[in-house]
Structure 1
Amino acid sequence: MVRVVVVGAGMGGMAAAARLAVAGHEVSVHERTGTYGGAVRQYARDGFAFDTGPGLLRLPAVYRDLFVKTGRERLEDRVELVQVPVTARHLFADGSAVPLPNASRGKVIAALDEALGGGAGERWAGMLTRAREAWEATRRPLLEEPLRDEPSSLGVLSRDGTYPASRKKGLQRLARALRAGSGPGPTLAEIAREELRDPRLAEMLGSYAWACGVDPRSAPASAAVLAYVEDTFGTWYVRGGMRVLADALYERCRERRVAFHFDSAVRGVREKDGRAAGLELADGSVVDADVVVAGGGPAAPGGRGTADRGATDRGAARITVLLALRGARPEGTAHRTLVHRAEAPGQPLTVLRPDDPALRPDDAHETAVLSLPVPPGSAADAAAAEQLAEQLLAATDAAGLGLSERLLWREVRTPADNEAETGAAGGRVPPPALPGADGAFLHPANPTGLPGLYLAGGWSHPGGGLPGAGMSGAMVAGLVQDPEWRGSV
């Protein structure tokens, strides 16, 4: 048994804490704020409740594995997972609309053909087939293995040929670029134009990266795996809001005797004999430990480590507008709608409208959440935030959603709000790790240059999002148990 101290009660930190505690270690968590969950929070007012962080869950197997490995109860014994019937409804500036059925390739092909014309579905399916090749080539080193500076992992993830270009032109351009050493291969936007040959399909593909705060014009072509994962494994919602998942993980930690210390800011990591030896708290007190897990990414003491990678400086912030609406939720409303705006091509607005009685005072009301990636630190004053919120609400009206006429009140959340809750500079949201681009979209490895100090959470390998946070906890727990641990099997 070793003494483990975790900095930050975010999802990655708690995932590591639960796994280490069930392995028999003494684990404590120090969180600078008054609650757990990191960005997975909820805002409540007048009987309405809203997720202020992630609104949907992908790859739920990550959390199913976490709950199985840390106790006898399954994830579904603690939370109700609902597979949404429509992954997303895309509304385009030309008036066309595409509802994408959840986890049904055949139905997706038919829906695209019906909405965008014959052949659209097959082109989309062909792109997903090539994305599957990228997924199969990189899934294990990207999501299941610690990041190591060796050909078996880092080399695979850094290569720009992980996404197989479908057209000879794309392969020739990639080969020329690699021979000339002129930089990474095709971008997601480039392969979208070449392979899909419809600007609406191209915007659809780009939206997977954009929603994560990554510009498809700079994202590697292998970012198409984001579309493949959603199409193949489906999109899920947690009944009661995503905060319920954070509640369940916190309770699992408590059951495994993890000690939580809230409002306990950390000043730095203590070192002794060339390894991590505990924490120095902001109040001047010290905490002795054999292992330190920094769950706050770049904002955490020691959070960058020695294997710094470019993705820590990537990622956008978000502005989020919470809408309390009068009137019942219209039948057939999609959980998620993407509004593709003529004034901002390639930068769709996400509208979440969960069908969840727990989030509204009664069935005569509805909640909606508007979300848009923005530059870190933007909308810094109330006037700018309100002006942007007004523009986004107007965009939903122009798309025919009719939300303004039903508005009771709204709450605008800015990057500054996210910075206050998570500590991320400028309110940045960590992007997922992506293969290709010479490794520019990878995150710092979980082990650091200081023995005994490990990184967990969205700003470390394998990157942002709920699945990435959960997997980072699994990797840290494996490495603490065995420094030569090679990943899950």
Structure 2
Amino acid sequence: MIGAGMGAMAAAARLAVAGHRVVVYERTQTYGGAVRRFERDGFAFDTGPGLLTLPAVYRDLFVKTGKEPLEDCVELVQVDPSSRHLFADGSEVCLPNASRAGVVAALDEALGAGTGERWGDFLVRAREAWDRTRRPLLEEPLWPNWQVLARKEPYPGVPHKRLLRTRRASTPAEIGAWELRDERLTALLESCVLGYGLDPRTAPASAAVLPYMEHAFGTWYVRGGIRELARAVYERCLKRRVEFVFDAEVMRILEKDGRATGVELRDGTVAEADHVVADVDPARLKAMTDRPLDADGDVRVNAFTPRPGRFTVLLALRGGRGSGAAHRTVVHAPDPESELDFLGSGVADQPPCPTVTVLRPDDPALAPDDGHESMVLSAVVPSAVDWEDENMVRQYTDHLFEAAEAAIPGLRDRVLWQEVRTPDDTDDETSAFLGAVPAPSLAAGGGRFLHPSNTTRLPGLYRVGGWSHPGGGLPHAGMSGALVAGLIVEGLEFRGSQ
């Protein structure tokens, strides 16, 4: 196993239970991939994902790999409200967790009568897209004829009374303009899509499943930070006798008679294997083998196309969190078009103010005492920017503070110290190309939003984790582990869990 990310560990635990001897070689000194923790002076911060959706993926992993269920290993809590949103016009709304009726009522009260109904109707259509794609896109290995998923848009068309015909949106931006018909509702949808590093103007309409996942299955936090989930999965692997070798960088995948037969490490060590599973980004995997791993002309995620990363500011604050504070606040960009233009090009005289997410966990484990608070500010940014440019870093830091102070007045006066993290830090920790963060796989869009399959053209070599099917995000990484384990244990005829 190459890499100790969440997908790799999910596969490792399942394979060990099935009777395989599993050895994981990790380039860095720790497990978890992008799911990491920064600690200083009694403060602790998640530096990767801060929230979890679809915890059922990890519940299933723990059920299938041991007697202790997930809730015996970590404390899962629902975040309520799920999110607070501050819009450019000064309005705001708090959305309850996993309650369609509650969300509809909150929107009507905060944004005006009718807004809740339009959002509720959108969620019904998003559910239809979810039902159409859930199994082939998330629960099964990517079919050899994956082009079927690439061509057909699963998000349903909407009858248009004036035109006397059905109009089918092809992007989230068109859903906003044609169906939601309110800039604030559009911002709700587009911020969720943007949060995964996707441009709502070019992503397929099937991206509607992303906000649907949150509304239908809830938003969850792991007490002590999401890093605790990585710890629990790592410890489950150890209990199943998975071996971990840290500070061990794999440089080359060995082949014999047209099959992967092991790996070679940087220090020259050779480790033979019946199967090789790689939890690395496509650019790094390509450098480990001389042969093409996918068919010519494959339009799925291009390994060398720069994709967005995340800019994060970790704040150690004097003064307690206070009661009633939302765990997650989204401050929407004042000029979303400029934000998206810059995200795509990385070129602007001045970087525009981005959409900013503020995470304020109600968790005493993250601060030295109740007189202090741990806070994380983040934004999706272009990864192909010179993040060693101090002026660029300073401007983005100021942007994040400006947005956060709209939600939390007087924030700057409370700062004891701050730690700024750019896509370069993600690159250092995960080796992801330019520090990019993978998005979940999506149907339609000509296949450009699908990730490479878990199998490759080199027999015995498998891909797992966020850069392979079914894509990025904690739930999707866990799903990829289940798929790879099934393919190795049951063979290429494996078609997913029933």
TM-score, L = length of structure 2 = 0.92
Cα deviation, 1:304-356, whole Å, max 9, x if unaligned, reads 72155433436411110001111111211111100012144575211111010
Distance 1:309 1:72, change over 3 A: farther
Which residue is equivalent to 1:318?
A: 310
Supply the distance in 2 between the matched residues of 1:270 and 1:120 (Cα, whole angstroms).
Answer: 58
Q: 2:368 aligns with which of 361, 365, 369?
A: 361
Equivalent position of 2:331 in the other structure: 339
Q: Using the TM superposition, give the Cα deviation of residue 53 of structure 1 relative to its aligned residue in structure 2, in angstroms.
A: 0.1
Task: Find the aligned partners of 1:103 and 1:156 in 2 and give their Cα distance.
Answer: 32
**Alignment partner, residue 236 of structure 2:** 252
**Structure 1 contact 79–245 (Cα < 8 Å) conserved:** yes
Contact 1:84/1:335 (8 A) holds in 2: yes
Comparing 128-137 with 326-335, which one deviates more in the overlay?
Answer: 326-335
Amino acid across the alignment from 1:474: A
Q: CA deviation at 1:377?
A: 3.6
**Aligned-pair CA distance for 1:380:** 2.6
Match of 2:462 in 1: 454
Give the equivalent residue in structure 1 for 2:382. 375
CA 1:192–1:167 in 2, change beyond 3 Å: closer, same or farther?
farther
For these two proteins, the number of residue pairs brought into alignment is 471
Report what 1:98 is aligned to: 93
Give 1:463's aligned residue.
471
Counterpart CA distance in 2 for 1:156 and 1:62 is 25
- The one-character-per-residue Cα deviations of 1:169-217 (angstroms, maximum 9, x if unpaired) are 697665xxxxxxxxxx611111111101100000100111100110111
Tell me the alpha carbon deviations over residues 409-454 of structure 1, each in whole angstroms, 9 at most, x when there is no partner: 1100011100000001110001111111121100000000000000
Aligned partners of 2:409 and 2:258: how far apart in 1? Answer: 59
Cα distance in structure 2, aligned partners of 1:265 and 1:71 = 30
One-letter code aligned to 1:21 = A
Is the contact between residue 157 and residue 167 of structure 2 (CA under 8 Å) also seen in structure 1? no
> Aligned letter for 1:257?
R
Which of the numbers 435, 444, 453 marks the counterpart of 1:445?
453
Distance in 1 (alpha carbons) for counterparts of 2:184 and 2:264: 53
Pair 1:234-2:234 in alignment: no
Tell me if the contact between 1:143 and 1:462 (Cα under 8 Å) persists in the aligned partners.
yes
Query: Which residue is equivalent to 1:181?
Result: none
1:474 maps onto 2:482 in alignment: yes
Partner of 1:15: 10
Partner in structure 2 of residue 179 of structure 1: none
Given that residues 87 and 336 in structure 1 are in contact (C-alpha distance below 8 angstroms), is that contact kept between their aligned partners in structure 2?
yes
In structure 1, the residue matched to 2:263 is 279
| Structure 2 residue 136 is matched with structure 1 residue 141 | yes
User: What amino acid is aligned across from residue 370 of structure 1 in structure 2?
Assistant: L
Q: Identify the residue that residue 149 of structure 2 maps to in structure 1.
A: 157
| Residue 208 (1) aligns with residue 185 (2) | no
Unaligned runs of 5+ in 1: 1-5, 175-184
**Residue segments in structure 2 that go unaligned for 5+ positions in a row:** 340-353
Which residue, out of 409, 416, 419, partners 2:417?
Answer: 409
Shift of 1:85: 0.9
Hey, what does 1:34 align to over in structure 2? 29
Displacement of 1:396 after TM fit? 1.8
Contact 1:317 1:375 in 2 (8 A): yes
The separation in 2 between residues aligned to 1:220 and 1:270, in whole angstroms, is 38
Q: Decide which of 479, 485, 489 is 2:494's aligned counterpart.
A: 485
Distance 2:474 2:149 in 1: 21
Q: How does 1:260-299 map to 2 (within 5 A)?
A: 260-298=244-282, 299=284
- Which residues of 2 match residues 76-225 of structure 1 at below 5 A? 76-150=71-145, 154-168=146-160, 186-225=170-209
Q: 1:3 matched to which residue of 2?
A: none
Q: Tell me by how many angstroms 1:488 deviates.
A: 1.1
Indicate yes or no: 2:355 matched with 1:348.
yes
C-alpha distance in structure 2 between counterparts of 1:160 and 1:117, whole Å: 35
Write out per-residue CA displacement over residues 274-294 of structure 1, whole angstroms, 9 at most, x where no aligned residue.
110000111112110010001
> What amino acid does structure 2 have at the position aligned with 1:335?
H
Q: 1:309 to 1:242 in 2, by over 3 A?
A: farther
2:268 is aligned with what amino acid?
Answer: G
1:310 partner SS: coil
Partners of 1:444 and 1:460 within 8 A in 2: yes
Is the 1:10–1:39 Cα contact (8 Å) retained in structure 2? yes
Partners of 2:228 and 2:408 in 1: CA distance: 32
- Contact persistence 2:127–2:212 (CA under 8 A): yes
Equivalent residue of 1:39, what SS?
coil
**Amino acid across the alignment from 1:234:** G
CA contact (8 A) 1:315 1:431 kept: no
Q: Percent identity?
A: 61
Tell me, what secondary structure is at the counterpart of 1:484? Answer: coil
Q: Is 1:431 matched with 2:439?
A: yes
Task: Tell me if structure 2 keeps the 8 A contact 1:8–1:294.
Answer: yes
Deviations 1:358-411 (A, max 9, x none): 000111111111111111143333442133112210122234543212111110
Deviation at 1:238, TM superposition (A): 0.3
The alignment's TM-score, normalised by the length of structure 1, stands at 0.93
The secondary structure found in structure 2 opposite 1:257 is coil
Q: CA RMSD in A?
A: 1.7
State which drifts further: 165-174 or 49-58. 165-174
Maintained 8 Å contact 2:251/2:265: yes
